[in-house]
Structure 1
Amino acid sequence: MEQEKRFHVNLAVLATGMMAFAGVLIETAMNVTFPTLIEEFSITTSQVQWVTTIYLLMISIVVPLSSYLIKNYSKRQLFMASSVFFIGGVLIDAFAFSFSMLLLGRLLQGVATGIALPLMFNIILTKVPLEKRGMMIGIGNLTTSIAPAMGPTYGGILTTQLNWKYIYLLLIPILIISTVIGLYAIPKEHKEKVDTINTKAAIYLSVMFTGLLFFFSYLQSPFGWASLVVGLIAGMMFYKANKEKTLLNLSVFSNKMFTIYLLSFLVYQILLLGVSFVLPNYIQIVSDVPASRAGLMMFPGALTGALFAPISGKMLDKFGFKKPIGIGIAAASLGWLGLILVIQTSNMILITTCHVIFMIGVGLSYSNVMTVGLSSIKTNEQDDGNAIFSTLQQFMGAISTSFVAIILDVFQKSNSDYQVGTSIGAKVALSILFGLLIISGISVYKTFSKKA
């Protein structure tokens, strides 16, 4: 009986893991399709970035609600909701005949992934025995680490050999299989509603995120600045409403170590999403390389980062946090500086090598920065800290994509030669992000002398 129960739990983790994997896979798979989408739908670089941005925005809005959803709805109900949203979104995009239709599908996929990711880890934390939990969390993290590595290659090959819509068509059978497994493995449970959601805080948070995102997406227009004002007002309203009934526990920001390591984590997220937008677009537009080769160029670095993540955890356990994080920041800085210096050569070997060095640094420090940040706050605050990490991780990814897209767009429009404009814009975007990496790196290095 115990063995059968464990088998069902493993299948439940597999089902939610397949869905989370699919969600993260298409997050990066679409980046290599942007030049194709720009041509097919007659849109600009600043418009096409919404394919990624609207997806990440929806995840960042849904994740803060995960605690409420898990308390008030059964795992089966949440799994079914995620399946319906995901399959619906994938079907819409598989047959999208307009850019607006494509964005609608991406919106639904973002909602689905925002439900599936916390659900997978909740099943692990509540159903898996303690002695097996570490391994299962590792498998869960590996799922979401390998998917971004595979995404650009998967998207690039399908876009070049068939059509970008096959990115979605080939996911349909995977999602159907995961739904069948989940319905079999996740039992029906009666769930009493034990909590009410702070609706006002949730709405204000959504408006704040959306307003700030529109600001970064439309910096050049009055609409963008009006969106900033709306976002800031919504932020103040959220802060007030959140005090009445906590949606996100903001008191953790009073811990300086938590704040510094959170900011470092977010800078890494900005760089990861920024580079996954800049490099595939640059190499396709400037060097006239097909999407399949652009995707393959990203694969060694992304895979390296995924493989170094578990190694970094072992280094943290054995040597403490200073060595893996310190070496990681140094490697990431060296690799990123290399990208700035070699990108205009369009030499794919040099660009790939620098990206691999950067991703070694990310692999050594990215997850460890989160571990140190969360371990610096009280145990009873760690769920709140985790929610803030997860929420801002997705939101800053969306901000990054919008920001680098508008930089590219500005230089593409201001230069008579589209390729030259793209080349200059890519170097400027990478240089600005390098400044963020240096500032956050110095802040982290300063903490080394304060904590053993």
Structure 2
Amino acid sequence: MSNLSDIQKKFFINVLLATSFTFSISQSAMTTIYPTLMKHFSVAVSSVQWLTTGFMLVMVLMMPLSPWFLKNVPFKAFLLSLQIIFLFGTLVAITAGNFSLLVIGRLLEGAAVGLLFPSFQSVILSITPEEKRLTQMGLVGLVMGSALAVGPIVSGVILEIFDWQAVFSFFLLILIILFLLSLKFIKNVMPHEPYHFDVISSISLMGLVMLLYALQTMTTKITISLLFIFFVGLLLFGYFVQRQFSIKEPLLDLRVLKNAAFRLGMFLTAGSYIALIVTTVLMPIYFQKILGVNALWSGLMMVPAAISLSILNRRSVEVMKRFGLKTTMLIGSAMILIGFFGLLITCQIKLWLLAIIFAALVESGNAFMMMPAVTYANNALEKDLIPHGAALITTVRQIAGVIGVLIISQVLTLVSKPLQVSMKGMLASFAVSAILAAILLILVLRIKNRRANKLL
């Protein structure tokens, strides 16, 4: 971006971040309108959650492809294409006459989001000097984390005034504006380094989706066909991994996994993401089904969490510079654990204030976890491997999110009655979340201070 003026750079980054922010909001906005959609389409929790799970599965499928697109397609054309795909998917959702069409619309949105998330992080990491990456990634964390927290709020407010289609119409309007801004301000900032697209690798990636689909479905029933899908998926995905290590130009360069610091950072950001996405799924359901509030109030009750996450995302850089990465992430993981444990203990009290406080504590803990872990991981890589590292981190993070949502949704469904959410189901969900948070804290303790501070 050396050929761009300071003003052009500012507009470039802001339009890119605004697009990512809007895409990210769409990921979590569905949770507030789950009860409305369950009633409108007469589907259970385990079915309606596919609006999030299916979205995330497609994201996972597309993310490993992003390094190839970044190096083979001019960035401006790439971004504009993703915006068009998202807009088309949103139109499908708005006009959906049945639940299947609504899911298809969400899958198209998920494809666009899956290609953008690792790409925009790669662009920002690549054009930013290493000594300034903490500050820039703090801004990225603010955009991604806050957007996930804001999603249920936005959909809750819109749903109170309009019908559920208006939530998708909101995304449509914003993306049209961003598309027009992108035509003017987005530039081709990434080097054009074309290499062969490995079709065999892209096909074998379907094994990952087959695995996740089988795991999701087998939580309620186990059949011969599901076992077949699971084992075929396992074989295909295993072949994908083996192929990436054996070919000269891999679709996703898995050599980054040989770096211990990268691996640990990858797992930490994945664990942090599970906590964040599970909170955005569980809390609107808890507020509406257990506390009995409407969609608007369930969204507004998530405002404190979104505000605290936004504020602390920027503060986390200062905390890290002063106290070091390990201490910062210990603070974050402890906040997540205390938040889930607090929700477990106070769930039956049905006191909305305590629920808001503990939910805010969980989400705020992510400010000291997610982007610090991403920066820690990518700073351990050579510059030419950053696109692959960013793609792998976001892929693993989304896989973790899918698995986290699947586990929590199934716990909630199995313990509760069909088409209902019970107190026992919520307690079980918070208990599982607290256990996962404890594992995250243990992983943070494995960070080596000297190595961490050297990388920052």
Question: TM-score with structure 1 length normalisation?
Answer: 0.89
Larger deviation, residues 129-138 vs 354-363:
129-138
Corresponding residue number in structure 2 for 1:237: 239
Q: 1:408 aligns with which of 397, 407, 412?
A: 412
Say yes or no: does 1:344 pair with 2:348. yes
Match of 1:311 among 315, 319, 325: 315
2:194 maps to 1:194:
yes
**Which is further off, 245-254 or 55-64?**
245-254
Matches within 5 A, 1:217-232: 217-221=217-221, 222=223, 223-232=225-234
Superposed displacement of residue 291, structure 1: 1.0
Is contact 1:19–1:113 with CA below 8 Å preserved after alignment? no
Superposition pairs of residues 4-153 of structure 1, within 5 angstroms = 5-124=5-124, 138-153=138-153
| Contact preservation (8 Å) 1:18, 1:175 | no
Report deviation, 1:69. Answer: 0.5
Q: Does 1:280 align with 2:284?
A: yes
What is the alpha-carbon distance in structure 2 between the residues aligned to residue 365 and residue 126 of structure 1? 22
State the alpha-carbon separation in 2 of the partners of residues 119 and 443 from structure 1: 27
- The farther-off stretch of 137-146 and 324-333 is 137-146
Following TM superposition, by how much is the alpha carbon of 1:334 offset from its aligned partner in structure 2, in angstroms?
1.2
User: What letter corresponds to residue 394 of structure 1 in structure 2?
Assistant: Q
Looking at structure 1, the residues matched to 391 and 190 of structure 2 have their Cα atoms a distance apart, in angstroms, of: 26
1:323 to 320, 327, 330: 327
* Counterpart residue type for residue 45 of structure 1: V
Distance verdict in 2 for CA 1:200–1:310, change over 3 Å: same
| Structure 2 partner of 1:301 | 305
Shift of residue 274, structure 1, vs aligned partner: 1.5
How far did 1:132 drift?
Answer: 8.5
Equivalences, count = 447
Distance 1:51 1:384 in 2: 28
Distance 1:447 1:391 in 2: 22
Equivalent position of 1:170 in the other structure: 170
Note if 1:372 corresponds to 2:376.
yes
Q: Distance in 2 between matches of 1:382 and 1:133?
A: 12
Checking the alignment, whether the CA contact within 8 Å between 2:118 and 2:390 is kept in structure 1 is no
Could you tell me which amino acid in structure 2 is paired with residue 318 of structure 1? R
User: Any conservation in 2 of the 1:6–1:128 contact (CA below 8 Å)?
Assistant: no
| Residue in 2 that maps onto 1:215 | 215
C-alpha distance in structure 2 between counterparts of 1:187 and 1:447, whole Å: 38
SS at match of 2:405: helix
Q: Which has the higher mean CA deviation after the structures are superposed, 434-443 or 34-43?
A: 434-443
Shift of 1:107: 1.0
The farther-off stretch of 225-234 and 338-347 is 225-234
- Residues 18-38 of structure 1 deviation map (CA, whole Å, 9 limit, x = unaligned): 322211112111111111111
- 246, 258, 261: which one aligns with 2:262: 258
> AA paired with 2:404?
S
Give, in angstroms, the shift of residue 48 of structure 1: 0.5
Per mean C-alpha deviation after superposition, the further-off stretch among 85-94 and 354-363 is 354-363
Q: Distance in 1 between matches of 2:190 and 2:368?
A: 43
67-76 or 399-408, larger mean C-alpha shift: 399-408
Gaps of 5+ in 1: none
Look up the equivalent residue of 2:97 and give its one-letter code: F
Q: Distance in 1 between matches of 2:279 and 2:187?
A: 42
Match of 1:398 among 402, 406, 410: 402
Aligned to 1:362: 366
In 2, the alpha carbon distance for the partners of 1:137 and 1:264 equals 16
Moved more, 427-436 or 134-143: 134-143
